[in-house]
Amino acid sequence: MVQKHTYIKRSLFLIVTAFAVVSCDNLFEYSPYKAGVRAPDKDLNIKAIREIENLNSSGFRPFTIGLVGDSHTYYDYYEKQVAHLNKKDDLDFVVHLGDITLSGIYREFIWYKEISSKLKHPLITIIGNHDYLSNGEFLYKEMFGPYNFSIVHNNCLLVFLDNVIWEKNVQDPDFEWLEEVLKDSEDYIYRLVFSHIPPWSDQFNTGNEFYFNMLMEKYNVDFSIHGHTHHFWQGRPYKNGPPYLTISSSQKGEVFFLDVKADTLQVRREHY
Amino acid sequence: MDIPRELIIGSDTITYRPKWFIPSHYSAQYAGLVGFMSIGAGYDFGRRYKPTLYYGLLSHNFGGSSVTVHTISLKNSWDLFKPGMLGNLTPRAGFSINWGHTNNTFHRLPPHYPDKYYFQNKVHLVPFWGGEYKISLNGNGLLKKMGIYAEMSTLDAYVLEMIRTKYVTPFKIWNLSMGVTLYLN
């Protein structure tokens, strides 16, 4: 009798364990600080840019971009944003303006990637300050590609800049790269710059703030688009230079759209 | 090895264990948030509590991470049932305190941050549950038993997201580790 009980208990224990094991998504995890992903989770930005190239035309064509940012671990809200974006058929692509994680740890990247994979539009993800924590810097590079990059889409120059300072322990963003990419851009219809941190925010000292806007002004950038603040704001914070936009974080219940038209750039804000 | 000995000083008898500091068990583990592979040594306190200190390594050649991670983990394990209740199988559970050393992890924020900009990210709690199958080695030599164990573990940060969100279900947070323990006589 005692032996029978032991047998039943032991079997139950093994069944529960086996069920838990086969149900898990990532069976083995060596460290939360692990960096390194395998295909098909590699170079997601590079793959997205290849998809976007199929929609590109050599001359100007009006187009719309979806904008989200600061999804952190607001996964339920980010899923709703993805579902809302999937209702739209007229988007060329979507840009996530950074802070896809809270602590830059392994499963946060995996969860972001899993939810994002449900998006039917190509998605470009830029790096935010939180994504630099732990080994997030290296995981980002493997999962998405280079930190700074630019594309020409429908004769518009779109620049994606990593402007994180504190987490990289640097003095300023890579202004040399930014200037290099903006230098010969006067022939494009629009010049749009996407980066996580707006120049008036905490990580920028006065010199960096001035220099960032000075480059925007010098090369006639038409719009500077950011996340980081978790709040929607649009306006001209400086006497000279372009208009700026910051979009709200995922849990605020909003999704943003940028309509790039021949005569104007228009921001739309929709509640999901 | 560490049979209690008695020492008589005057009218007092002192019982002491010689070589008390020698660990009672040694382990080697695969995965489980302590690196690709880890090795540990620990003690048996009472009948149920077994603390073990592990060192684990994860690197490019040792687990395929592009960045090296060193982890020191104090695993606090409790046997869930009386010894022998499930035969050779010992279900157990507990939590580890993991200290990870790699890029951009810190106890205290570097001075260029404002106060409380981030919470520390060097130390994590790792709850786990699992079981060990013990094989008696029946020898009078150094080794008493060998245990083969499997455990499911998770990270404090993942548990928090499971509580905070619907998206992170309980099945999304667990991972499997396996190991071998040698118990000394």
Please say if the pLDDT value at position A60 is more than 50. Answer: yes
The domains of chain A are located at 2-271
Ranges A4-8, A104-108, B5-9, most confident: A104-108
Q: Nearest residue of A to residue B170 by CA position?
A: A24
> For B167, which of A27, A79, A133 is closest by C-beta distance?
A79
Are B151 and B143 within 8 A, CB to CB?
Answer: no
- Looking at the complex, report in whole angstroms how far the Cα of residue A10 sits from the nearest Cα belonging to chain B: 6
> For A103, which of B32, B67, B157 is closest by C-beta distance?
B157
CA angle, B63 as apex, B60 and B67 as ends, to 5°? 40
Q: Does B54 touch chain A (CB under 8 A)?
A: no
Q: What is the DSSP code string of A109-138?
A: HHHHHHHHTT-SS-EEE---SGGGTTTHHH
Chain centroid to Cα A245, Å, comes to 15
Please say if the pLDDT value at position A16 is more than 70. Answer: no
Give me the percent of chain A exceeding a pLDDT of 70: 92
Mean pLDDT, residues A250-259: 97
**Per residue in A217-233, pLDDT tens?**
999 999 999 999 999 99
pLDDT at A158: 98
The residue behind tokens 């009980």 is A5
pLDDT at B3: 65
The domains of chain B are located at 18-184
- Looking at the complex, report in whole angstroms how far the Cα of residue B13 sits from the nearest Cα belonging to chain A: 43
The residue behind tokens 């981030």 is B118
Q: Nearest residue of B to residue A32 by CA position?
A: B33
Of all helices (H) and strands (E), which one includes residue A234? strand A233-235
> Quick one: tokens of A157?
């120059």
Q: Does A20 touch chain B (CB under 8 A)?
A: yes
pLDDT at B10: 82
**Which residues of chain B make contact with A133, given a CB cutoff of 8 A?**
104-105, 118, 121
**Which of A6, A25, A33 should we substitute to test contact with B (largest number of B Cβ atoms within 10 Å)?**
A33
Mean pLDDT, residues A193-202: 97
pLDDT at A118: 98
End-to-end CA distance of chain B: 7
Q: Does B127 touch chain A (CB under 8 A)?
A: no
Please give the CATH superfamily to which domain A2-271 belongs: Metallo-dependent phosphatases (3.60.21.10)
Decide: helix, strand or coil at residue A47. helix
CA angle, A69 as apex, A103 and A116 as ends, to 5°? 80
Please say if the pLDDT value at position A2 is more than 60. Answer: no
Helices (H), chain A: 2-23, 44-53, 75-86, 106-116, 136-143, 175-182, 206-218
pLDDT at B1: 47
Query: Which CATH number is B18-184 given?
Result: 2.40.160
Beta strands B89-101; B69-79: pairing state: antiparallel
pLDDT at B19: 73
pLDDT at B78: 96
Secondary structure string (H, E, C) spanning chain B: CCCCEEEEECCEEEEECCCCCCCCEEEEEEECCCCCEEEEEECCECCCEEEEEEEEEEECCCECCCCCEEEEEEEEEEECCCCCCCCCEEEEEEEEEEEEECCCCCCCCCCCCCCCCCCCCCEEEEEEEEEEEEEECCCCCCEEEEEEEEEEECCHHHHHHHHHCCCCCHHHCCEEEEEEEEEEC
Rounded to two decimals, the ipTM of the complex is 0.88
Decide: helix, strand or coil at residue A176. helix
pLDDT at A242: 98
Confidence band for A18, pLDDT divided at 50, 70 and 90: low
Q: Does A80 touch chain B (CB under 8 A)?
A: no
**Per residue in A29-53, pLDDT tens?**
999 999 888 878 999 999 999 999 9
pLDDT at B166: 97
How far apart, in whole angstroms, are the C-alpha atoms of residue A80 and residue A134? 28
Mean pLDDT, residues A104-116: 97
Please say if the pLDDT value at position A200 is more than 60. Answer: yes
- Give per-10-residue mean pLDDT for chain B (185 aa): 71 75 94 97 90 97 93 97 86 97 90 89 96 87 91 97 96 95 90
Of the listed ranges A84-88, A120-124, A207-211, B137-141, the one predicted with least confidence = B137-141
Q: Nearest residue of B to residue A25 by CA position?
A: B172
How far apart, in whole angstroms, are the C-alpha atoms of residue B177 and residue B147? 14
- Looking at the complex, report in whole angstroms how far the Cα of residue B99 sits from the nearest Cα belonging to chain A: 11
Rounded to 5 degrees, φ, ψ at B105 are -120, 145
**Which of B59, B164, B172, B177 should we substitute to test contact with A (largest number of A Cβ atoms within 10 Å)?**
B172
The residue behind tokens 């898990």 is A24
Confidence band for A13, pLDDT divided at 50, 70 and 90: low
> Quick one: tokens of B163?
């509580």
Please say if the pLDDT value at position A266 is more than 80. Answer: yes
Chain centroid to Cα B119, Å, comes to 24
